[in-house]
Amino acid sequence: MRYHAAKTFEEAASIAAKADGVTRFLAGGTDVLVQLRAGLVTPDDLIDLKHIDGVQDITRLDDGGWEIGVAVAGARLGAHEALCADWPGVVEGMELVGSTQVQGRATLTGNLCNGSPAADGVPGLVAAGAVAKIVGPDGMREIPIEEIPAGPGKTTLAKGELIAAVRLPARGAGGGDAYQRFIPRTEMDIAVAGCAINLRVEGDTITEARVAIGAVAPTIRLVPEAAELLVGSTLDAATADALAAAVSAAANPITDKRGTSEFRTEVVGVLARRVAQTAYDRAKGDRS
Amino acid sequence: MAKDEFREFRLVGTRPDRPDGLDKVTGRARYGADISAPGMLWGAVVRSPHAHARIVKIDTSKAEALSGVKAVVTRADFPTGLTGDEWDLQENTMAGDKALYDGHAVAAVAATSKLRAEEAARLIEVEYEVLPHVIDVDDAIKPDAPVIREGAADATVPEGMPPNVVRYFEHGRGDLDAGFAEADLVRENTYRTEATHQGYIEPHACLGQLGEDGKGEMWVCTQGHWFIRKMCADVLGLEKSQLRVTPSEIGGGFGGKTTIFMEPLSLALSRKAGGRPVKIVMSRSEVLRATGPTASASMDVKIGMKKDGTLTAGRAEFRMQGGAFWGAPVDMALDCAFAAYKLPAVMHIGYDVLANRPKAAAYRAPGSPMAACAVESLIDEMCRELGLDPMEVRLKNAVREGDRSSYGPKFKSIGLVETLEATKAHPNFSAPLGPNQGRGIASGFWFNHGGETSVTIALSEDGTVTVSAGTPDIGGSRASIALMTAETLGIPYENVRVNIVETGALGVNEPTHGSRATFATGKAAVEAANAAIKEMCRRAAVEWGIDPEAVEWVDGAAQPAGPNAGKFPPMSIAEIAGNMGSTGGPISGHHEGNLGGVGASFGCHVVDVEVDPETGRTTILRYLVVQDAGRAIHPAYVEGQYQGGAAQGIGWALNEGYVYGEDGRLQNSVFLDYRVPVASDLPMIDTVIVEVPNPGHPFGVRGVGETGITPPLPAIANAIHAATGARLRHLPMNPPSVLAAIKAVKGG
């Protein structure tokens, strides 16, 4: 195994592009190092990104959005008051990943690139309309988060490409987002189903919405037909029920050791109803 | 309520600091994996990926050629001709002709580093012929089930039974038909519990060394090092006294560390590597795939009840698989099934069944939680049907001193009624409940055990005392033994140090199992202290020139027994110890025997749950454990045992369980997916210690370690029923099962 401490994203991309064996990027390491120790993956090239300038930064952009560096740990997101005020759903998703100790290392980008359909950090990003800033052999590009997962353990990134940062849009007025997952325990578990909703209200009426679901399909999925139901409503009971049904209908889960297909399909709808309420309350000014 | 409530103790019943506390919180305590030695090698084990497969060929040549590899062993390196339990242990240590479960060891390697050993293990090529397998106990007794081992049944199994039935039990008393005829309500249901693992936080670890001269040593995390010595010697054909075994601190065992797994492999590798010590530390995945869980069970229970709640008859038919070897605790499960009840007629039938799973090991009250799950659930169901209060029905039928137990012997002093009364009196029993909440109660029982025990206490020159004990301290026995020894000698608790000593230092000790350490080792320590007191009184008598019978021991000193004995100032233990070199030499006390006098412990649990009707998720709101300790020597440790048993039972009830794929491979071999409760899943577990002293122990101790895991399974099933109207008879009661059951109730 060759270890590389890259100084720039371009250098990291160049090393990855030239590598011909198993290549892994190292930011928090909470997936790579665990997989290494368990004997699941032994990289030929391990490219450490933590030494690149700015990777630990959470930056407010000129347009009011946010840029979150590739090596920012979950615990730092949770400690960032302004970010938490803007995007509580994104932060609460990331904070569900692992234990307190893991939170000291684990990163949003790592959670995304691990490619798990059950990644708790990702549905919130998708619902928020976040984009990934990608560096590769052909330069830099930005793509929506939902276009990155390609299936369990897989991403759409090409050889030599890596994510340099994640960008969240400006929050704007009347916005609120939330994420919940279902696990049989209270913590230290993998989502059996997850749902994130981001919406905007004017008065009591929802004017924009995005709904994302996790752990109920090969990838984390945006559900536009569910979001459409929300827009124009005041989240009355009938809308909430229709939302639950639409979300359940969009789910296409497997049965495995963590839950049955039937259970996941039903519960993701239940979560959608609950998450929509929290996002709605937040949009209306309830910051709890 | 205590029979000798006027007897006051100076130390017994107090809560001093634990003697191992500082070591454990500072990381100084040495656990199994912390032991290293010069020249040490690392071992790694090659395990079968198949549930059932013939081993066609093992090619170790590539591994042997790897630099740093010092030894490779397969079954060919073990002696042949073993029979019975010894063969079973050897077969489980290292597969012979067939791999019998996913995770079964087929080869092992020792190398100069852990990574090198693991690399070498991957280079060992095993050719398998995969055979049909069977996982479920009911499937294993079907006519077309794969046969795991022909001729494995013992003499108890009648002709014509399925070949995977290896032991059969049938016993009872009274007229069962008349009992059921007399009942106003007879109900029979089937209950199933999944296999669960003890889930100790410390994986198995050992360091073994064995020379060509057959002399060896082992440092190991175990509940019983004499068992390790005997079993390793049997499996490897060694002389037992030539193997010296030292136990490490132990990070949990719960019964699972009373047998051997990879320990003989380290010795076999060491012998082949010229006597270099070999360390083997299991991963969590190896622990879950290859070490002893408890059995899974399928149980039919039939009970007769009168309208007033009087029980008339009970019948239990239990089928349990304990892996590919005999040993599912079906016999103990049957004995525990109706132990809490006076029953005029009772019948027990049991089948110990082989399946392609790891060899079951003891797990906290082996068999009793499953039995309680079936019987205590059915009692609750019948009480509901008849509109009776389940607590009053339990009290009405509760066994008392002198009653004949369901399993045979008459009960001596027991505290079931006192336990039930204390439960009723606790505020949790009548706390108000909200929507989607429900309360469940259940009783539990464990026999407890005495067994082979050998203890020595020795005076130091300053009058402090060391106790040499042979039962590894899993649950606070060093503190309780120190308290009882200090109480007996009349000295401060801090003046006693209890050491768990190696196999060369004492006669044979059984492991810390059967809730016996505080009972049996404590009892032997008190007798050993009394022997030392006798000698100290004799030394004083010689000094004073009076008859030894005229000296008594009071408050840590010898003194003349009454005015006629002579007028001498008391001679303290420190004085006697300080002079012992010139008054006859070292002073010690020793006691050993196969200790009897055990007292059974009954418990009653009350649990309040809230069930999310939309997801089936169960939250434990309140949990109460009430149990008879006989006498709580160190009440904080007793409470810890009660809470620990409840926590494990809650996990077993709600989310734990082995998940096998169609291929017979274990799917959830890490703690992420083998879902034991985490701390935030549980409320503070309330405890009440009932003390009905056991007359068979000098301080009245009953073992308390095991009963606590028995009631949670049915108590939670009963609570979920109360909260949702849905009865779950199949564990685990995880959210998908509970949600499906709720929908079934709503739908019909």
Identify all chain B residues contacting A267, using CB atoms and an 8 Å cutoff.
614-615, 735, 739
pLDDT in the model for residue B462: 98
Q: Do B739 and A186 touch (CB under 8 A)?
A: no
How confident is residue A38, by pLDDT bands cut at 50, 70 and 90? confident
Picking from B330, B295, B326, B296, the residue whose alpha carbon sits closest to that of residue B316 is B330
In Å, the largest CA–CA distance within chain B is 90
pLDDT band at A287 (very low <50, low <70, confident <90, very high): low
- CATH class held by domain B388-448+598-747: alpha beta
- Rounded percentage of chain B residues whose pLDDT exceeds 90: 98
Q: Is residue A250 part of a domain?
A: yes
Q: What is the mean pLDDT of residues B639-646?
A: 98
Domain boundaries, chain B: 21-28+450-595, 33-132+198-290, 388-448+598-747
Domain of residue A188 covers 175-283
CA-nearest residue of chain B to A189?
A: B672
* Average pLDDT of chain A, as a whole number: 96
Q: Which residues of B touch A237 (CB under 8 A)?
A: none
Q: Say whether residue A241 is in contact with chain B using an 8 A CB cutoff.
A: no
Is the dihedral angle over the CA atoms A51, A57, A62, A64 positive or is it negative? Answer: positive
* Of B614, B681, B735, Cβ closest to residue A186: B681
In which region does residue B181 sit, left (phi positive, over 0), alpha (psi from -120 to 50) or beta (all else)? alpha
Q: What is the CATH number of the domain that holds A223?
A: 3.30.390.50
Q: Is residue A100 within 8 angstroms of chain B, CB to CB?
A: no
For the stretch A103-119, pLDDT in tens is 999 999 999 999 999 99
Residue pLDDT, tens place only, B448-495: 999 999 999 999 999 999 999 999 999 999 999 999 999 999 999 999
Two tokens, residue B742: 């709720």
Residues 176-215 of A with CB under 8 A from B: 182, 184-190, 192
**Of A187, A260, A270, which is closest to B736 when you measure between CB atoms?**
A260
Planar angle of CA B424, B414, B439, nearest 5 degrees? 25
Give yes or no for residue B286 having a pLDDT over 50: yes
Quick one: pLDDT at residue A40?
87
Count: domains in chain A? 1
Task: Decide: B349 and B356 in contact? Cβ < 8 Å.
Answer: no
pLDDT at B3 > cutoff 50: no
B→A contacts (Cβ < 8 Å), by residue, are 118, 285, 614-617, 654-655, 659, 667-668, 672-673, 675, 677-678, 680-681, 734-736, 739-740
Residue A75 lies in a domain: no
| Residue A266: inside a domain | yes
Residue A48 is predicted with a pLDDT of: 98
> What was the ipTM of the complex prediction?
0.95
Around Cβ A186, how many Cβ atoms within 10 Å? 14
Answer whether B151's CB lies under 8 Å from B83's CB. Answer: no
Residue of chain A minimizing CA distance to B122? A39
Q: Which residues pair with B439 in a beta bridge?
A: B608
pLDDT of residue B531: 98
Q: What confidence tier does B2 reach under pLDDT thresholds 50, 70, 90?
A: very low
Distance to chain A for B614, nearest Cα, Å? 7
Q: Could you read off the pLDDT of B243-270 as tens digits, one per residue?
A: 999 999 999 999 999 999 999 999 999 9
- Other beta carbons less than 10 A from residue B169's beta carbon: 18
Tell me, yes or no, whether A16 lies in a domain: no
* Residue labelled with tokens 């006192």: B418
pLDDT of residue B748: 59
- A263–B655 C-beta distance less than 8 A: no
Among 3.30.365.10, 1.20.1740.10, 3.40.109.40, 3.40.309.10, name the CATH number for the domain at B21-28+450-595: 3.30.365.10
d(CA B562, CA B541): 14
pLDDT tens by residue, A188-234: 999 999 999 999 999 999 999 999 999 999 999 999 999 999 999 99
List of chain A residues whose C-beta atoms are within 8 Å of the C-beta of residue B615: 182, 267, 270
pLDDT at B64: 98
pLDDT for the residue numbered A288: 52
* Residue A11: inside a domain: no
d(CA A283, CA A279): 6
Burial class (CB in 10 A: 0-12, 13-18, 19+), B415: buried
CATH class given for the domain over B33-132+198-290: alpha beta
Q: Choose among A190, A257, A263: nearest Cβ to B735.
A: A263
Sheet bearing A175-182, strands edge to edge:
A175-182, A193-202, A205-214, A221-222
Average pLDDT rounded to a whole number, residues A15-33: 95
Per-residue pLDDT for B1 more than 50? Answer: no
Average pLDDT estimate for B704-719: 98
Q: What is the pLDDT of residues B87-128, one digit of tens each?
A: 999 999 999 999 999 999 999 999 999 999 999 999 999 999
Q: Token pair 């990134």 is at which residue?
A: A157
A9 in contact with B, Cβ within 8 Å: no
Pairing state of beta strands B243-247 and B216-220?
Answer: parallel
